[in-house]
A = this chain, B = another copy of it.
Amino acid sequence: MPRKRYLLTPGPTPVPPEVLAALGEPVLHHRSPDFKAVFAETRARLRQVFRTENEVLVFSASGTGAFESAVVNLLSPGEKVLAVSHGNFGTRWQKMAAAFGCDVVELTYAWGEAPRPDDVRRALAASGALVALLVHSETSTGVVSDVERLVAACDDAGAISVVDAISSLGAVPLETDAWGVDVVVTGSQKALMTPPGLAFASVSERAWAKVEQATLPRFYWDWTRARANQERNETPFTPATSTIVALNTALEQILAEGLPAVFARHVALGRACRAGARAMGLELYSPDDDSAAVLTGILTPEGIDAVELRLALRDRHGVTIAGGHGDVVDRLFRIGHIGYVDVFDITTALGAIELQLAEMGASVERGAAVAAALEAYASTVAV
């Protein structure tokens, strides 16, 4: 087995060496002035990356935990909630809201579709739900939904919008305050290029008013307590201090590069990945346009098992990519291009895939993918 590893999944993502070095610094005590100084900086940087003036609450948890915090702080038992699904994660939030005894109004699209604002508007009007759960980047399919228009539909209906931006925040534009998104949830291990273990929720003033009425029980996820603690640069319970120190470094790098440049890089990586896959003669599963900046979903040639392909890529070439979910588990593989990824990571993945598919007997065009990917990338960043 090769020693060198290439991580190209849509989370956890590769982490810059400076972030790993920060992670390995001596542990800080969470009530010490040393930590508070870091946390003050992290809070300010999070607000910049979230594009919000509101406090971004920090939880030691995975993204699912932070999403659960939105459900239990905004809703009451038996309360109607619109939960929109266009893939695996939207379906997870439908199940979560049901587990908490909410009356879940499901708006479910086929995998690969994008939710339509008019459907959201109608579903909210028909149900009277005051909260809508939405997914920005559906990591299972690569579809990035039009959150600006979906949130406008929520606004029209007077509903609080909760957006799962777990794989999108920091990869594609999300204008939290300008678009009026009430709650944005993300995790550390995606485009924020930090190891997993932290998750976040930004909360608008309108959402805070809803929190006061919501009666689902909460303790670890209690937003009110979290905000009061964060205002003095603390957290209610011992946070993942080392991961916060690492995140602070990653956020500094993201802001130094500049969000427009970061978003342009993700678009260019998506173009490179799609150009490479097409040059090899493969069929795309994720959209064949610049909205697919988070990950590229690709189908194996007929007769080639995607699970087998992934295991061989990892065992023989050290390349880790993601698999499919649901109905397309046998054909779909996904290349993530968020986090600390550049075009040569993409060409490495494409090269390994080409080699492995050929060895598995697939008829793929040889030698074209890497050149096509580099060409697509170079022509994008030159513009």
The reply to whether A26 and B14 contact each other, CB–CB distance below 8 Å, is yes
A12→B27 contact, CB < 8 A: yes
For window 10-55 of A, CB contacts with B under 8 Å fall at 11-15, 20-21, 23-34
Is residue A173 within 8 Å, beta carbon to beta carbon, of the partner chain?
no
Residues of B within 8 A of A9 (CB): 29
- Asked whether B68 lies within 8 Å of A197 as measured between CB atoms, the reply is no
Q: Which of B20, B30, B198, B314 contacts A12 (CB 8 A)?
A: B30
Tell yes or no: A316 within 8 A of B by CB: no
Contact between chains at B27 and A220 (CB < 8 Å): no
Asked whether B196 lies within 8 Å of A238 as measured between CB atoms, the reply is: yes
Evaluate contact between B60 and A195: CB separation under 8 angstroms.
no
What residue in chain B is nearest A166 (Cβ atoms)?
B238
A187 within 8 A of partner (CB)? yes
Rounded to whole angstroms, the CA-CA distance of A31 and B9 in the bound complex is: 10
Q: Which of B7, B237, B242 is A62 in contact with, Cβ under 8 Å?
A: B237
This chain's copy number in the assembly: 2
B62 touches A62 (CB 8 A): no
Picked from B7, B63, B96, the residue with its CB within 8 Å of the CB of A219 is B96
Main secondary structure of the interface of A (DSSP, over half): loop
A314-334 contacts to B (CB < 8 Å): 314-315, 320, 322-323
For A362, the chain B residues whose CB sits under 8 A away are none
Q: In the complex, which residue of chain B has the Cβ closest to the Cβ of A72?
A: B217
A23 neighbours in B (Cβ, 8 Å) = 23-24, 242
- Report A189-211 residues with CB < 8 Å from chain B CB: 189, 195-198
- Contact A196:B241 (CB < 8 A) given known A15-B26, A20-B24, A30-B12: yes
Contacts of A11 in B (CB 8 A): 238
A13, A23, A30, A68: residue with the most chain B Cβ atoms closer than 10 Å: A23
Which residues of the partner chain B approach A323 to less than 8 Å between Cβ atoms?
Answer: 31
> How long is the Cα–Cα vector from A238 to B30 in the complex, in angstroms?
24
Structural contact, B26 and A20, CB atoms closer than 8 A: yes
Please give the distance in Å from A194's CB to the nearest CB on chain B: 9
Q: List the 4 closest A-B pairs by CB distance, nearest first.
A: A197-B240, A24-B24, A195-B242, A64-B237
Which residues of A are interface residues toward B (Cβ below 8 A)?
5, 7, 9, 11-15, 20-21, 23-34, 60-65, 68, 95-96, 99-101, 187, 189, 195-198, 216-220, 222, 236-243, 311, 314-315, 320, 322-323
Q: List 10 A-B contacts (CB under 8 A).
A: A12-B30, A20-B25, A34-B314, A60-B60, A60-B196, A64-B236, A64-B237, A99-B217, A195-B240, A197-B197
Extra A-B contacts (13), CB below 8 Å, given A12-B27, A27-B196, A197-B239? A9-B29, A15-B27, A27-B195, A29-B322, A32-B320, A34-B320, A60-B65, A62-B239, A63-B237, A187-B238, A197-B198, A197-B240, A243-B243
